[in-house]
Structure 1
Amino acid sequence: MSAYKNVALVGASGSVGQSILNGLLSSVIGFNVTALVREGSTSKIAQEGHAALKVVRGDFGDDSFLKSALKGQDALVVALDANPVTLELQNRLVDVAAAVGVKRVIPSEFGSDTTNPKVLEAVPIFQGKVDAVKHLQSVVSKNPATSWTAVINGPFFDWSTERNAFGLDPEKRAATLYDNGTGKFDSINVASLGAIVSGILSRPDEFQNRYVYVSEFIISQNEIFEALLKTTKTTREDWTITHRTTDDLRKEGFEKIGNGNFIGALDLIFAAVFKAGIGSDFSATRKLDNEAVGLKQADLTESTKAVLERK
């Protein structure tokens, strides 16, 4: 099957969308990208003006706009934060995409292994993602000309390190290690996502109607900490180290959500990432698609150095 070259992208201005857009525009395949932007949005797309990029703005609540934007596209990639509002929008996009004959839909998955019951139990807010993929699968079953691919990649290493989400703050020399920092998990750099999506759309038949598992690192908090120590030329004695449990972090997450602070969702996610036995190290049980999509293992120290140079 030939590459799906005409690609509609929703969420092009976010960090995930930017990576996907960069990968598509820099690919030798010659992708043509249409970025759908909500009318009135002030978000900027850095690549606007690129010869292979068309930006269309309109009312996402208007099916006629969506049909016009998606008609003639080979693929639809959704790169939005997964919350009830955006997942409902994704469902509508899926419905319209199938109606106008879009061949492949890549939903806004790009994270933890939501097919794992233990992960879903630990992070119940992921049920929205699960339901959205079920909707996509149902639509595809009724519209065989349309297919789907969802990407599982774990937490983004570069994004998380930049925001101290791994519990490690190199500026304050402060480390919070959960369950002694030994829990292993798979991860990629968000910057690699563009090449991954490009690889999927370059050979779509290999990834039809299934999840794709990719990983650049199989790491723990302790290993990230050691990479930070090496990069900053410090020792553990130079840092303030606090030990906590993932159960404490999970409890705090639920308390925040209960008080209307939905940043607590990140606490739930990272509690599951850090906790051994949940399955965040999905490469232990899943066959990775790294080679098929053209993804290589990354060097942890070099990736850490690159992040700190940007901070």
Structure 2
Amino acid sequence: MAPTHAEAQPNEYKAHVKNIAIIGAGGRSGKFIVEALVQGGRHKVTAITRRDSTNQMPEVHETKQVNYDSRTSLVEALRGQDVLVITMIEAGVKWIIPNEWGVDHTNESLANDTVLGARYKEVQAHIENVGGEKTHWIGISCSFWYEFSLAGSEARFGFDFDRKEVTFFDNGDEKVNTTTWPQVGRAVASLLSLKVSPEDESDHSPCLSQFNNRSVYISSFLISQRDMLDSVLRVTGDNKNDWKVSYEDVKERFKRGSEMMTQGNMAGFAILLYSRIFFKDGGGNVSHKLDNEALGLPEEDIDEATRVAVEMAQRGETNMH
């Protein structure tokens, strides 16, 4: 659906969104989103948290404690918000950014193979069905978080920093998109700073409504495992001989991960998930879809991002939470 021009909107129309509620403000990516929004100075940011939560909240304009089991509590906490970063509809929130950071779910084969596609489609359909014309979802397709994925176990990008070992999928030369946490934060802040609608028919500049019920595609790097290793060597000062490199057929790796999941070993899910984007079918490369320019996102230094990952690995910060 084409965006409605601002000149055709009713008197209560707001040209930009102002009130942003975020569930998970203290999480790994949440704190970067909050930081970018607050620094931008255009929004009032409200953190939604459980009443019994002990999580350390980043600096926000307001914190509302809710009972997640009470619909009334949630609706009241969200009333008056323009955007919700995660999912909740009945309060009349106009835009929802669901918790679906990751791969390109419009790629049917990729969505099905990584298991998550059906769940995300259900969430999107629910928002569209319940929200009607008043509420829209906007997905953030950022592929895998770079620091988290590189610092993690061999099951992710193939790196084991404790042993200085890396497993290359096939030859390790397939390039995929990946995004840093700060870039995710900047992208969300930039997206929510766009004007809601074009001024008139001649206005073709980016606006929030052009992303109604679709994903925004962002990326920090288009990179292969070999590129990652080169960056690791530059950051650590290691020589190539300091690292043991092994190889695994990427489709056999995917099959192995699937079999582990079938046997109840959830470590196989990470192996399945990460190996799938390195298939030589281009599923992990979304460079032709990127909205980086529309959002004004900067180019980043791969070695700086790798340095963060190396430090995370050294501190043992490899889990999701």
Superposed displacement of residue 217, structure 1 = 0.6
Residue pair 2:151, 2:161 contacting (<8 A) in 1 also: no
- CA deviation map 1:141-172 (0-9, x unaligned): x2x23222111111111121222431123342
Larger mean Cα displacement after TM superposition, 265-274 or 36-45: 36-45
Percentage of matched positions with identical amino acids: 29
- CA deviation map 1:222-247 (0-9, x unaligned): 11011112222223222111111222
When the two structures are aligned, how many residues end up with a matched partner?
A: 285
Say which of 210, 216, 221 aligns to 2:220. Answer: 216
Say which of 302, 305, 309 aligns to 2:304. Answer: 302
2:68 counterpart of 1:60 = yes
Residue pair 1:7, 1:74 contacting (<8 A) in 2 also: yes
Give the aligned residue type for 1:302. Answer: E
Superposed displacement of residue 220, structure 1 = 0.8
Residue pair 2:152, 2:159 contacting (<8 A) in 1 also: no
Secondary structure, counterpart of 2:81 in structure 1: coil
Residue pair 2:66, 2:77 contacting (<8 A) in 1 also: no
Superposed displacement of residue 68, structure 1 = 0.5
Residue pair 1:184, 1:276 contacting (<8 A) in 2 also: no
Superposed displacement of residue 262, structure 1 = 2.7
The equivalent of 1:40 in structure 2 is 52
Superposed displacement of residue 72, structure 1 = 0.6
Superposed displacement of residue 309, structure 1 = 4.1
The equivalent of 1:257 in structure 2 is 261
Give the aligned residue type for 2:182. Answer: A
More helix by share: 1
CA–CA separation in structure 1 for the residues paired with 2:71 and 2:265? 33
The equivalent of 2:16 in structure 1 is 3
Give the aligned residue type for 2:99. Answer: S
Residue pair 2:151, 2:159 contacting (<8 A) in 1 also: no
Q: Which runs of 5+ in 1 are unaligned?
A: 79-89
2:270 counterpart of 1:266 = yes
Secondary structure, counterpart of 2:104 in structure 1: coil
Residue pair 2:277, 2:284 contacting (<8 A) in 1 also: yes
CA–CA separation in structure 1 for the residues paired with 2:135 and 2:119? 22
Q: Which runs of 5+ in 2 are unaligned?
A: 1-13, 198-206, 315-321
Superposed displacement of residue 278, structure 1 = 4.5
The equivalent of 1:292 in structure 2 is 294
Residue pair 1:23, 1:193 contacting (<8 A) in 2 also: no
Secondary structure, counterpart of 1:274 in structure 2: coil
2:106 counterpart of 1:102 = no
The equivalent of 1:135 in structure 2 is 126
Residue pair 1:8, 1:73 contacting (<8 A) in 2 also: yes
Residue pair 1:215, 1:290 contacting (<8 A) in 2 also: yes
- CA deviation map 1:184-241 (0-9, x unaligned): 1111101221111111111144232121111111111111011112222223222111
CA–CA separation in structure 1 for the residues paired with 2:266 and 2:51? 26
- CA deviation map 1:37-82 (0-9, x unaligned): 123333332x2xx3x432222211211001101101111001xxxx
- Bigger radius of gyration: 2
Residue pair 1:157, 1:188 contacting (<8 A) in 2 also: yes
Superposed displacement of residue 128, structure 1 = 0.8
The equivalent of 2:208 in structure 1 is 207
Superposed displacement of residue 263, structure 1 = 3.4
Alpha carbons of 1:17 and 1:190: their partners in 2 closer, same or farther (altered >3 Å)? same
For residues 112-151 of structure 1, the aligned pairs below 5 Å read 112-140=103-131, 142=132, 144-151=133-140
Secondary structure, counterpart of 2:188 in structure 1: helix
Q: TM-score when scaled to structure 2? A: 0.83
Residue pair 1:215, 1:297 contacting (<8 A) in 2 also: no
Residue pair 2:165, 2:244 contacting (<8 A) in 1 also: yes
The equivalent of 1:83 in structure 2 is none
The equivalent of 1:84 in structure 2 is none
CA–CA separation in structure 2 for the residues paired with 1:56 and 1:262? 34
Residue pair 1:2, 1:202 contacting (<8 A) in 2 also: no
CA–CA separation in structure 2 for the residues paired with 1:246 and 1:226? 21
Residue pair 1:149, 1:207 contacting (<8 A) in 2 also: no
